[in-house]
Chains A and B, each alone.
Chain A
Amino acid sequence: MKAVRDEGGRAMKTAGQVTAADIAAAKAAVPGAFGAPPWRRLQRWALAALALAWFVGLLVWFDITPARLSRGISGVWVILRLMVPPSPGAQWQDILQGLGESVAMAFLGTFVAAVLAVPLGLLGARNIVANLLAHLSLRRFYDGLRGMDQLIWALAFVRAVGLGPLAGVLAIAAAEIAVLAKLYAEAIENADPRQPEAVLAAGGTKLLAIRFGLLPQVLPVMLAQVLYAFESNTRSAAVLGVVGAGGIGLQIAERIKVRYWNEVAFIILLILLTVGIIDFLSSRIRRRLIA
């Protein structure tokens, strides 16, 4: 029999001869390899119990009971059955017009935001405006504005300028400006500083340095982000109509109110198709821009 010794000089045995005593000895030597220590296990159990208590608490708070769930699920089942087969219904022109309106709203809103966000993005970039306090407070401001969902803007603009797509365009623009300004600022900060420096060194003004040293670097990135914003805004423009801001959302909300579920299904499919097409086109342009 060959005795094997580990680095510490403790006797170990070769495989095939492990007895219960060996295991006990090993457990005493390296307890960590045999599972967490008791206090850690206790901690884990306590955390799990806490999580379970939180979960049960929420179920009670939101009045989520098996009876309600099963009633709701059977309701969903009825709706799903009524959705088949999807049908455009009698007012299919309204649906198409709403869809066009949604895409148009997304396009105009994104365009306005893309233009207005350029100066804001420049102001928010550390390498353009070097003042740390201004930089931090401005970026925090953009972040804060992002916390306000597009739908809140939409509801406010509906109250301000009335029902219709104009409210939607303004809402999309207002919500997107902060997002794009932040993304622009990040793109500008990631640009290579040597090119604008070269323009400055050759005697160019700061404006010329931005135009010829910075813009060629960041413009493709910015354009790609605008396209991405357009994609995401087409999705959100589809629901802005729910609060009265024009587009296909209004058509969906109206048909849900009168329970024309097959027409609702048709509109949802149409939205998926449109969003899919726009995603496809936009991602192709984006790939060409970045490459």
Chain B
Amino acid sequence: MPVGTFELQYRRRRLGRWRTTLAWGAVLLAALAVSAWMSEVSPAALLAGLPRAGQYFARLLPHLQWHHLLDGPRTEGSFAYWFYRIDLWLWLLLQTSQMAALATLLGAALALLLCFPASANLAPNHATYFVFRRVLELFRSVPDLVYALILVWAFGVGPLAGILAIALHTVGALGKLFAEVVENADMGPWDGVRAAGGTWAQAVRYAILPQVAPNFLSYLLLRFEINVRGATVIGFVGAGGIGQELYTVISFNYYQEISAIVVLIILTVSLIDLLSERLRSRAMDGAVR
């Protein structure tokens, strides 16, 4: 008898699960159909588009030839021929990384000022906390490229607009992360400084900052990695860096130069990620979590 009950229960549960799976599957299919209709993606469009995409990416591949690989920049098929403007590109990549560094620093400085009143445990009252949190949210939710589009109008074409655009987005992104770190800080030192007569600002400086500094540094480096990626494309709208050059070579269909620049970008980003990862793990050695 118990076996029969078990079988019955088992079958009933199985049926129920099948029903929910089917229901979710139907929702997914409907959503896919609506999205495909909205974005005008049809099997026919895919069938026409994908081979063209394949051809395009095939054209990007460099025509390297084994016996000419290490020849000079004038021989077709050599690395030097592929990367024939490497000096300019490396210079632009340096510019891009420095734009990201400056933007991260500016954004982090402002985030450092805004994060303490945006922490629930340090804000003098709930209204302050609420207002500062919303301000950070506002900074964060506009993508840096939209900032760049607007700032290029105000500051003119060039790296300055890009730096400020990335910095503005960074303020919001880092401010939120900083505030969350501060909210997890030990409040003992804070009470101590306040009890000894320290002001709010002194308590932040001497009780909170030493605790959170390693985490802040780690987040700053993480954001720097993200901003380097962002800085490589911010030039698409005229805001400086390698993006401007990349935009030009893609628009003019200089196939080999596209792949050369993309390879350089990937190498640079990976290198910076690697360095920053090292620094982050060193910064976190002294961190309390």
Interface on A for B, CB 8 Å cutoff?
A: 55, 58, 61-64, 68, 71-73, 75-76, 78-79, 100-101, 103-105, 107-108, 111, 143-145, 147-149, 151-152, 155-157, 159-162, 164-166, 168-170, 235-236, 238-239, 242-243, 246, 252-253, 256, 259, 264, 268, 271-272, 275-276
Contact = CB atoms under 8 A, between A and B. Distances in A.
Interface stretch (B144-152, B184-192, B199-207, B212-220): B144-152
B53 A149 contact: no
B158 A62 contact: yes
B160 A68 contact: yes
Contacts of B57: 156, 160
Contacts of B155: 68, 71-72, 75
Interface of B: 31-32, 34-41, 45-46, 49-50, 52-53, 55-57, 60, 95, 98-99, 101-102, 141-143, 145-146, 149-151, 153-156, 158-161, 163-164, 229-230, 232-233, 236-237, 240, 246-247, 250-251, 253, 258, 262, 265-266, 268-270, 273
B168 to A, nearest CB: 10
Contact of B31 (A107, A149, A156): A107
Given A159-B253, A235-B143, A148 B265 contact: yes
**What's the dominant secondary structure at chain A's contact region?**
helix
A238 B40 CA distance: 17
B143 A236 contact: yes
A108 B150 contact: no
A79 B98 contact: no
Given A156-B250, A156-B258, A256 B145 contact: no
Contact of B153 (A145, A149, A256): A256
Contact of A268 (B35, B99, B146): B146
Nearest to B54: A160
A242 B39 contact: no
